[in-house]
Each structure stands twice: as structure tokens, then as C-alpha cells.
Structure 1
């Protein structure tokens, strides 16, 4: 089976590459070629057209263009309130605006206008159904994203833009077989940079890092719009970071920000890479700028832990307060940040609270990241036997944990250490540092200390010959 996978993946990538030029032509072409391109007689400026091309094909839009599109749709709908498709476009634009700015207040607005679209045209409104799936995905509500995505797919099985939404939903639910099957169908229907990038994400989740890196590199090279190319470069930088390649990661992140100054995920990525390179002042500045424009709880946690690693406890506590406030803000907008809050509470707050939160998250959407976080929270709360069960789910390929994550391996190794399973603990701590020696400003040094304390494996005598 493994040989079959190795033979199949290059063929898949070649098939994607063959269609790249055609895919780019469609992405950069006229709106009548788009899945939502039936709109006629609707006034759209050049920036609005660029943003509409992006949001209706599920790729990143430049924030200035997005603002223009939103203004145009709002103005148009005041005079044409029965235009269901424009309501759907506006909803998709609100979702993208909320995602890019980390401002959850856009999500209730998106839901209102998408439901208005469904009210205006209840039957066959695949645009609004897809918008609702995208909204649920942005909120990290993967069961709901699956429900809306499957409803859209049932209406139009060959509508390729629905498939990436379902891939994200299945991944968030821990159903990697369904995600891979959905990708295979997408590859049959479509090619081009957006599909390459989605393939790269699935390959990464299966532990196929070389295939993932190649797909993301091809996507970035083929993308024409700067915001789209910047997003794929950021994904490539994150992949390089996950394997401990600080310099390559930093180059990807810097190029992404050069192409799109609003690419805040790449700025936060610069913070990670710069901190690992010992360029602490630059790292702090990169994180601060990223948080100012895209105040995600994850960035506040990373910045707080960087401050803590520098012995700046008060500055760290300020960021942890920011994290809590942003989680509350997300919840008010219907977005789920329980995963990052659970990890924060496990390490810096109340581990028992983390366990309660993450158990509920696991029941609702049992993805690999939730398994890892719940296992770690259980460990921090003193329940190591149960913790190991979830750590194995996050790291054992036979249970779906094929992602090569230094953090996941570290968590498992520390749990095994406290269970006095010295051999497995040593193996997983070594694996964590081999995957990415810089995976956390706080935890990577602790992994080294734990490994040193475990020492070398004992010399076992050879069995006597009978």
C-alpha cells in the first residue's frame, strides 16, 4: 500500500501541474468564467472584480479590494434587495474580511446576509450554501461546515469550489480519509494554484512533507494575484518552519509580506523564525505588528511565551490577558477558539478547566490538534494514563496522527517520561527535537533538559546462546 501511495502522489502532482496554466487563466480571466459568474448588469469596479474573483473561488483577496467589493455590494443591494446572488457574494466577502482581520464581528453580519440570500432564493442557492460552509469553517465549526458543504455539493456535484470547504471540514473533524477522497475528486475536476495549495495542505496532514512543499511551491509560482501568492508563500513558510528550517521559513514569510503587507500570518511567522534565529528584538516587533492588525489569540499566546522565555513575566501576562479578551470576542461572533484557550490554560492557567473545555471540543469535533491538546491538558492535570491515550491518537499513524509535529511528539514524550516509560519518552523527545529543534521558545529547552535527564539508554546484555 505504501508503494502504491508513493507511485500515485507524483502522478497526481503532474496532473495538477499540467493544468496550472489553464487554472491561472481562469483565475485571472473574466468573471463570466467563474462559478458565480452568472451575475450580469451588476456594477463592479476593477478592485471589486478582483476581490469578487477571489472570494467566489475561495482564494485570499487583498484587503483594499475586499473593502471596495463590500461597498459596491452594499450599495447595489440597497436598490436591488431581491438579488440573491449579490447577497451571497456580500456574505462571502464578510467572511473573508473577518478571517483576514481576525474581527469576529464580521461573522454575524455574514450570517445575516447569507440567510437573506437563502430567504430570497431558497431553492438551488448553492452560492449561499457554500457561503454558509465557508462561514462555519472560519468560525472553526466543522460539523456545521460539513453540513452546509455537503448540501451545496448535493446540488452541484461538479462545482469545484465546494470541495476545499469540505476538505477543511473533514480535516477539522479528524476524518482524513474523507479529506483525501475529496481532494482526489477535486483533482479530477480542477487544476491551478488554488487546488495545488489545497493538495499541499492534505499532503502535510498525511505526513507527506516533500509532496506538500512541492505543491505549495508550485501554487505560489502559478498564482497571479499578489495576495493569493503571498498566502501560498506563507503556507510554504509554515511548512518549512515545522521542519525546523528557520532560514527558508523566514525568506518565505518576508516575501509574502513584501507582496501583501496585510499578510499578518506571515508577520507572525517572521516572529517565530526570528526568535529561533536569536533575533529577539525583530521577533518581538514582528509579533506586535501582526497582533495589531490581526489580533488572533494564537499570536498573543506565542508572543506571551516569547516574553516568558526572556524572563519578562509582566509583559507575558499582558499578552495572556489579550488572549482571553480575543477568545471572548471570538465567542461573541460565534467563532470557536477553545483549542488555543485550552492549550493556554493547560500551560499557564487552570489545567482542569482546560480538560473540561477540550473534552467538549473533542466530543464535538475530534480532530488531531484537539487530541494533542486534550492529552496535554490531561497530563498537566495529573491524569497521565488517559493523557497518553490521546497523545497516541495525535502521533500514531495507525490512529490518524500522521502529521509530523514536534509539539505533538514533545507532548507524548513528556507524558511517557512521567509514566516512567523511559524508552518511548527518550524516542519521542528525540523525535521532537529532530523534527524542529526550535518548535517553542518555552518547550524546546524543556525537551532538551528532559532528554538529558533521561540519559543514554542502558546497555542491555546480549542474550546467551542456547
Structure 2
């Protein structure tokens, strides 16, 4: 699978590589095929091997070894990724700078680490630069292509991202490559292929965190298609492997809310945001409360407001969930300003969707529709994208097109948002279109 070029067909190249590699393992054409259950190799247990502790001991024994400092940095980055503890990023940065001080050139582990650090901080232009440096330094090693793929896809350079993912699959078809292939495939609307890649990622996992990540992503993929029982199975497998896995905990809270267990869902969110106050989790919790009139969530909204204030002051990368909070519950004009700045950095469909919605919330619907249409360029089957576009089209008097996109949002997942999904159903009802109930309730 070494050939490149137009005939390969972009995402098809990744899908073909994934499908070919999957053919060597268990066959499966549906996500109903069980993922491997957590076993002795993956389950957390007392006294389990801890890469971070091992890396710290290595640095203590050899403080002048640049490789030891790079290993420590990678362990800190992995712990940050799995716990969402941003403090780990500062520790990783310190270790990487020490490694580069000790060995400034031809330091591949430090170069890939710097790229991972930049991507973790959503500094994707910097991440891309380190990714390119890494792949030029060692074109036959896979890790640099992972850094490059992560940066390119978030910058909206989808063809370059596919090329990097394909190269990573060619060099090292393991969990990291399968996970990135899955994201690329999902972004291009190839959900079945994405599920196949994620199942192979789970099968290839070497650590509990890798297993939990793959299972959680399978849960998110099922959720995006409105398949609640399937999503629940994957989220529970992730939590069985890594207790309190944050994204899987949020997934279970969404499922609880979708099934009408609002109080239980709010308790789950409260525990989650106390540990991990990410904008996404705060926004989901707040909008669940706001979905019931007269019950604002001042705590969550205050947290989001504080984070937005810091973002405006620092001028850093914009979390789309924070921008959507500003658009819907804060100052839409601020959301537009933040997202116009982000659009200069990243032309991803995620940024296009958020900017289009923020423009709509300020009344600039003609301009908003340009960005809403841009979200369709990859074919991502994203209910929120369709909902935002449908509302904008209705506001512009394009009711037939608006109905089509609102129906598609509810068809993909009638529970995509406790705050916005009922609004989509009401708008369709007033326009004489199908209601949410007509799309079924896949609980």
C-alpha cells in the first residue's frame, strides 16, 4: 500500500489499508462484534506497571541522559492525555527542554515530544512544524507521522492528514495508527470503517489507557449514530479498564440524560466537572440544566465565563465548546471575534461550524451560511453541524433546505443535545416537517 496520488482517493486509501490489515485478524462488518473485554493485560490493578514512575526513576539514575528526559516527557504527556490534567503538560515541557539542552540535534524523541506537547495545547501550527521536523529526521519511524497527522487534521489540511495517517499505518500498524485512521475516516463520513479501525485499535492495545481510549471512541461513534445501547457497552468497557475515564463518564451522563434520568445524569456530571472542568463537560452539564426552563446552572456557566475571560486576555487557541458557550449563553459578538481569530489558524470543519453558528447568533445569517456549508466538505455525519445549518437556512427563508438538515440531525441522533434537539423538533413541527419522535428512539 505504498502508492500515493489521485487514484488512491484520499480517505479511501486509509480505509483500504485498514480493511486490508483487518482481514488478517477477526472478521467483522458491524460494530455489534464485541470488543475484547478487559483482561489481566489491560485491567488496572494494584502494583501495575507505571511508565511515569519508571521514567522518573530513570532520570534520577541518569540525569545527564537526554533519552531519559524524553521518556519522562512522553510519560507525562500520556498521563495528561488520559487524566486531562493540564499540569502534566508543564512537567512534560520542562523535561523536553532539558532533553534538548543535553542533545540539541538529531533528538528524535524530544522532537516528537515537542510536537505532541504543542498539539495537546492546541497549538497546531507549532505541532505541524515539529511533526515535519520529526519526519524529515527519521522518515521510517511512525511517531512523527502521528504528530503530523494530529496537527494537519485540526488545521483543516485533510489531504495532508490522510497522507500522514497512511504512512503511519504502513510503518507501524498499531493502536496509535488505527486510532488516527478512525478519526480521519469518521471525519469523512466513513463510520463503518472507523468502527473497524477502532476495534483493531482496542485489539492492539498494550496498556489500559490505550484500551480505554479505543473503547471510549467506539462509544462516541455509536452515540453519534444514536445507538445508545451500543454506546453504553463501549463506555462501560472503557470505565472497567480505567475507572473514572473522563470522556466515557461524560458519555454515560449523556446516555442517562437521553433515557430521561436527568437527576442521575447531573450527579454524574457534577462529579466529573469537579475533577475535570473542561469546557465540553461544563457546557454539556449546563445545557442539560438549561433544557428545563427555570433551572439555570450558574455554577457551570460561571466556570465557562471565567475560562472565556482568560481566553480573551491571553489570545490562545480557542476551544470550540467555549466559543459555543459564548454564542448561546454569553456574548455572541465575543464568540465571533474569538472564532475569526481561530479561523486564521485553523480551517477545520469544527471551526467553520462554530463560526457559522456564532455569526447566526449575531444576526449575520447570510455570512453564517457560507461557513455552515463549509462543514459539509468532508462528509462528516455530525448532528450538530446539520442542526446549525438547518436553523440558519430557516432564518434565511430556505425552509425546504432547513427542514432537510434538521431532519438529518434528528435522524443521526435524536438525543444529540438536550438543549438543541428539542429546538430542532419544535422548528420542524412549526414548519410542518417530521418531529423527533418520527425518527425513532434507539435507547
Tell me the TM-score normalised to structure 2 length: 0.86
CA distance in 1, matches of 2:44, 2:89: 18
Deviates more, 1:102-111 or 1:239-248: 102-111
2:228 aligns with one of 228, 241, 246: 246
- The RMSD of aligned alpha carbons is 3.0
1:235 aligns with 2:212: no
Please tell me whether the aligned partners of residues 55 and 75 of structure 2 are also in contact (alpha carbons under 8 angstroms): no
The Cα of 1:254 is off from its aligned counterpart by: 1.2
Aligned residues: 415
Match of 1:169 in 2: 151
For residues 117 and 3 of structure 1, what CA distance do their matches in structure 2 show? 40
Quote the Cα distance in structure 1 between the aligned partners of 2:219 and 2:201: 13
Q: Within 5 Å, which residues of 2 pair with 1:188-337?
A: 188-311=170-293, 313-314=295-296, 316-325=297-306, 336-337=317-318
Change in CA separation of 1:189 and 1:75 when aligned onto 2, cut-off 3 Å:
closer
Q: Equivalents in 2 of 1:131, 1:64: separation in Å?
A: 29
Aligned mates of 1:63, 1:118 — CA distance in 2: 35
Return the offset for 1:270.
0.5
Segments of structure 2 that go 5 or more residues without pairing to the other structure are 1-5, 27-40, 435-443
Aligned equivalent of 1:445, options 414, 422, 425: 422
Q: 1:111 to 1:223 in 2, by over 3 A?
A: closer
2:350 counterpart of 1:369: yes
Task: Compute the displacement of 1:191 (Å).
Answer: 1.5
Q: CA deviation at 1:450?
A: 0.9
> Would the alpha carbon gap of residues 4 and 122 (structure 1) be closer, same or farther in structure 2, given more than 3 Å must change?
closer
Q: Relative to 1, partners in 2 of residues 1:73 and 1:230: Cα closer, same or farther, differing over 3 Å?
A: closer
The correspondence for 1:92, drawn from 68, 71, 74, is 74
1:293: Cα distance to partner? 2.9
Bigger Rg over Cα:
1
1:81 is paired with a residue whose SS is coil
Could you say if the C-alpha distance between residues 213 and 424 of structure 1 is closer, same or farther in structure 2, counting changes exceeding 3 Å? same
Change (3 A) 1:18 1:224: farther
Secondary structure of 1:313's counterpart equals coil
Q: Which moved more, 1:190-199 or 1:379-388?
A: 190-199
* Partner Cα separation in structure 1 for residue 149 and residue 59 of structure 2: 32
Q: How does 1:370-449 map to 2 (within 5 A)?
A: 370-395=351-376, 397=377, 401-449=378-426
Bigger drift between 383-392 and 188-197 goes to 188-197
2-structure distance, mates of 1:109, 1:402: 38
Q: Give the distance between the partners of 2:11 and 2:351, measured in 1 at CA.
A: 29
SS at match of 1:230: helix
**Distance of aligned partners of 1:171 and 1:5 in 2 relative to their CA distance in 1, 3 Å threshold:** closer
Distance (Å, rounded) in 2 between the aligned partners of 1:265 and 1:456? 34
What 5-or-longer segments of structure 1 have no aligned partner?
Answer: 22-49, 51-59, 458-466
1:147 aligned partner: 129
CA contact (8 A) 1:203 1:211 kept: yes
> Is the alpha carbon distance of 1:194 and 1:385 closer, same or farther for their aligned partners in structure 2, counting shifts above 3 Å?
same
Deviations 1:436-460 (Å, cap 9, x if unpaired)?
1111000000001111122259xxx
When structure 1 is superposed on structure 2, of 75-84 and 262-271 the one drifting more is: 75-84
Distance in 2 between residues matched to 1:336 and 1:313, nearest whole Å: 31
Question: Secondary structure at 1:336's aligned position in 2?
Answer: coil
CA contact (8 A) 1:242 1:435 kept: yes
Shift of 1:65: 8.4
Q: 1:98 to 1:325 in 2, by over 3 A?
A: farther
CA distance in 1, matches of 2:315, 2:327: 23
Query: 1:310 Cα deviation (Å)?
Result: 2.7
1:355 aligns with 2:332: no
Are the aligned partners of 1:104 and 1:334 in contact in 2 as well (CA < 8 Å)? no
